[in-house]
């Protein structure tokens, strides 16, 4: 094959979980050109990666050159030999077909089976219902169907020089190089408010990390979470807790600061997978979502989940008392974090880079 289009997932964390499969396709077809087709907001997840010749942005409501028919024409002009569809949408399969892709590999869901090429993969079901299984394994099945070897579970990301320069500026701004350890807190989640752990709990955890481990703490955020990050830093009442609330934000910056950190404590959101991709220890606080969907087999991860009668509900907003998240205490999260810090100190090479 000369040219392969990889239709990337639509969620930041899912793109990271697709990286073993992407890497395996690259290895299976070293002479082929790979093109990524993705939503604009996930493009920076794979920025700096050596796998793709180009990234084609697809946004049905975006600029004219990113809409369906423009992207279909672009794909047709590229003469794509095969398309691998990580998203399960009918639209993705239709776009691949109308884009002239010779072979279309994906899961047979949402009535799109007739648009796919053999073998048509079925998702795991039990009595006609989908059973929560690790997405990373499903993505790997797609790569194998296209002809790759077993991709394994090692996720991988890259940063750009611009990302690293921005992270260097943050390290200098807050004086983070003077701390023996730097812990990151990520309180947000694009999925919805049901995934949020209380801000006061994050603030209490930040105080514990400072007082008991001597760490500097940096609170991450997305554009919609600036006030939350600012409030966590202020509520911690510690001069050693900082936030990115007043900084220019980007996925590239988040990747670069995660890469040089000692630890990440996060909700079940995209940056959780950044930590695994950069081999950094991570504590993830789960609430309404199935852990089984996003299990990545990362050995430096601790996943905290409180079993409650109403969960996991998969709801974006809790209509009860949010007990699945409020019942997880700062003490429990600190114990998990301290255990990881003791077991997985930052390597010397990363220490030097971090202090730059």
Task: Look at the pTM and tell me if it is higher than 0.85.
Answer: yes
Q: What is the mean pLDDT of residues 243-271?
A: 96
Report whether pLDDT(261) > 60.
yes
More confident residue, 55 or 324: 55
Q: What is the mean pLDDT of residues 247-272?
A: 96
Q: What is the mean pLDDT of residues 27-56?
A: 98
Q: Which two tokens stand for residue 151?
A: 């991709």
| Mean pLDDT estimate for the chain | 92
Q: What is the mean pLDDT of residues 43-69?
A: 97
The CATH class given to the 161-354 domain equals: alpha beta
Q: What residues pair up with 282 in beta bridges, in sequence order?
A: 264, 301
Predicted confidence (pLDDT) per residue in 147-197, tens digit: 999 999 999 999 999 999 999 999 999 999 999 999 999 998 766 777 889
Dist. CA 242–CA 237, nearest whole Å = 11
Share of the chain above pLDDT 90, in %: 79
* Domain coordinates in residue numbering, the chain: 3-146, 161-354
Task: Give residue 231's pLDDT band: very low, low, confident or very high (50, 70, 90).
Answer: very high
Report whether pLDDT(117) > 80.
yes
Q: Which two tokens stand for residue 284?
A: 């993830």
Report whether pLDDT(355) > 50.
no
The reply to whether 161-354 shares the fold of 3-146 is yes
The CATH class given to the 3-146 domain equals: alpha beta
More confident residue, 23 or 124: 23
Predicted confidence (pLDDT) per residue in 265-317, tens digit: 999 999 999 999 999 999 999 877 778 888 999 999 999 988 887 868 678 78
């Amino acid at each position: 094959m000369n040219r392969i289009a990889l239709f990337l997932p639509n969620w930041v964390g899912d793109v990271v979980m697709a990286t073993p499969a992407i890497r395996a396709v690259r290895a299976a077809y070293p002479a082929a050109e790979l093109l990524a087709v993705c939503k604009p907001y996930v493009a920076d997840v794979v920025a700096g990666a050596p796998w793709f010749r180009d990234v084609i942005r697809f946004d049905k409501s975006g600029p004219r050159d990113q809409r369906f028919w423009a992207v279909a024409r672009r794909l047709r002009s590229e003469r794509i030999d095969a398309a691998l569809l990580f998203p399960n949408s009918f639209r993705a399969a239709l776009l691949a077909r109308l884009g002239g892709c010779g072979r279309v590999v994906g899961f047979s869901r949402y009535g799109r089976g007739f648009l796919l090429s053999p073998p048509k993969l079925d998702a795991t079901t039990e009595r006609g219902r989908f059973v929560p299984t690790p997405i990373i394994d499903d993505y790997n099945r797609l790569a194998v169907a296209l002809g790759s070897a077993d991709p394994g579970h090692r996720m991988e990301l890259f940063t750009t020089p611009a990302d690293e320069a921005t992270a260097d500026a943050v390290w200098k701004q807050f004086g983070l190089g003077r701390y023996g350890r730097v812990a990151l807190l990520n309180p947000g989640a694009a999925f919805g408010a049901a995934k949020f752990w209380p801000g006061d709990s994050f603030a209490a955890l930040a105080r514990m990390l400072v007082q008991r481990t001597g760490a500097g703490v940096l609170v991450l955020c997305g554009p919609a979470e600036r006030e939350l990050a600012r409030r966590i830093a202020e509520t911690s009442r510690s001069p050693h807790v900082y936030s990115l609330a007043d900084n220019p934000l980007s996925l590239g910056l988040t990747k670069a600061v995660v890469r040089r950190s000692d630890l990440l404590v996060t909700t079940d959101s995209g940056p959780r997978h950044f930590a695994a991709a950069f081999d950094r220890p991570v504590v993830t606080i789960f609430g309404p979502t199935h852990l089984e969907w996003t299990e990545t087999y990362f050995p430096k991860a601790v996943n905290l989940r409180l079993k409650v009668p109403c969960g996991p509900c998969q709801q974006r907003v809790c209509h009860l008392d949010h007990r699945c998240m409020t019942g997880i205490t700062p003490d429990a999260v600190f114990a998990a974090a301290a255990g990881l810090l003791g077991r997985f100190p930052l390597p010397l090479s990363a220490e030097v880079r971090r202090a730059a």
